[in-house]
Structure 1
Amino acid sequence: ELIREGYSYVDKSLLIRSVLDSPAQVLLLPRPWRFGKTLNISMLRTFFDRGMPGSAELFRGLDIERAGEEYTTHQGRYPVVFLTLKDVKTLNWEDCPGHLRQVISEEFKHHEMLLESGFLDTEEQKQFRKIRSRECARYELERSLSNLLYRVGPGSGRYPHEPGGVG
């Protein structure tokens, strides 16, 4: 939105290069309140996620494009599980699971292509639909993210254009 609407934008796209150059398997990006954590994570998702058509134009002319093909070849190539809890605002702890159910459901909707992939058996499809429609039990919700990560993780072969993948 920032780029498409012509707002002022500080190019932080070299964070992508830092992520790619890092040997870390997990990234922790601690920053104080209002320091752009969600914006940076959204940028990473937009760059890497194969489910974000048209994202190449957003990075045209930015530092990451000038960094070279060794970085731009990663654009749009990976399934990304993206969760932000910034909108989960409740007055008590008991209401949190309902809000988390909503956030997780939205992420499952982003990965709906798994339902047509042929890689989920009938029981897994049923479970996926329950989580997507927010009809799952709390214990199912607790395991949902690890199950999704297993389905979309490296080498799962469950997405188009991945070696051995669908499509």
Structure 2
Amino acid sequence: GKPPIGLSDFRKLRTSGYCYVDKSLLIQSVLDLPAEVLLLPRPRRFGKTLNLSMLRAFFERDRPGNAELFRGLDIERAGEEYTAHRGRYPVVFLSLKDVKTLNWEDCLGHLRQVISEEFKRHEMLLEGGFLDTEEQKQFRKVRACECVGFELERSLSHLLAWLERATGEQVVLLIDEY
């Protein structure tokens, strides 16, 4: 296969004939850690985004095609205690790459946009009675990029709590380019 220079999308890498150095046992390491928060401080161009993309593909629920991405990788042979976590969790993925701006207002605007996009990915929360009327109003406001101040500040913790309530599972929060 061809070398994946600059490619950080795990799905694309696995489905487009690129060479892949199997780092899937990172998933095992993450699951084995007792910590609730894991920080991966690595130098630039060290594969952090690709690894987060892999973690997202592994853990994210309602993505049936993702299981195929791990066929033949080490994590498949790590045992049922690990593969049982595949496709099980709601995942919130935020890339703060575009949030780095020259002034606070632009930064806040970009952050509002990033969070809004993630709310759009989880619109299923508006169906099925998971949210009460007030929560639906808050959800729609964030989704429409109309939240300010305290609403923006609380939006992410609300999304995590709502996803956990709706699915009965802990939420995996992945933040890239912090």
TM-score of the two chains, using structure 1 as the length reference: 0.88
Give the superposition deviation at 1:41.
1.1
Instruction: Look up the SS of the partner of 2:85 in the other structure.
Output: coil
Instruction: Look up the SS of the partner of 2:38 in the other structure.
Output: coil
Aligned match for 1:135, one of 123, 132, 146: 146
In the alignment, does 2:176 pair up with 1:148? no
Give the superposition deviation at 1:119.
1.8
* TM alignment of 1:33-112, pairs within 5 A: 33-112=44-123
1:22, 1:142 → 2: CA distance? 28
TM-score of the two chains, using structure 2 as the length reference: 0.83
* TM alignment of 1:9-28, pairs within 5 A: 9-28=20-39
Give the superposition deviation at 1:76.
0.5
Which portions of structure 1, spanning 4 or more consecutive aligned residues, are displaced by more than 3 angstroms? none
Structure 1 gap segments, 5+ residues each: none
Superposed CA offset, 1:7-46 (max 9, x none): 1111111000001111111111111122111111111111
1:18, 1:39 → 2: CA distance? 16
Q: Which residue of 2 aligns with 1:116?
A: 127
Instruction: Look up the SS of the partner of 1:28 in the other structure.
Output: coil
Residue 97 to residue 51, structure 1, CA distance change in 2 (3 Å)? farther
The alignment yields a C-alpha RMSD, in angstroms, of: 1.5
From the two aligned structures, give the one with the greater strand fraction.
2
- Percent identity (aligned): 77
Instruction: Look up the SS of the partner of 1:131 in the other structure.
Output: helix
Structure 2 gap segments, 5+ residues each: 1-11, 170-178
Contact 1:109 1:132 in 2 (8 A): yes
Tell me: higher relative CO, structure 1 or 2? Use CA pairs within 8 A at least 6 residues apart.
Answer: 2
1:90, 1:26 → 2: CA distance? 26
Superposed CA offset, 1:81-110 (max 9, x none): 211112334232321011101110111112
Give the superposition deviation at 1:66.
1.4
1:71 aligned partner, one-letter code: Y
Instruction: Look up the SS of the partner of 1:31 in the other structure.
Output: coil
From the two aligned structures, give the one with the greater helix fraction.
2
Superposed CA offset, 1:27-82 (max 9, x none): 11111122111111111111001043310010011110111222111100011121
Which shows bigger deviation, 131-140 or 58-67?
Answer: 131-140
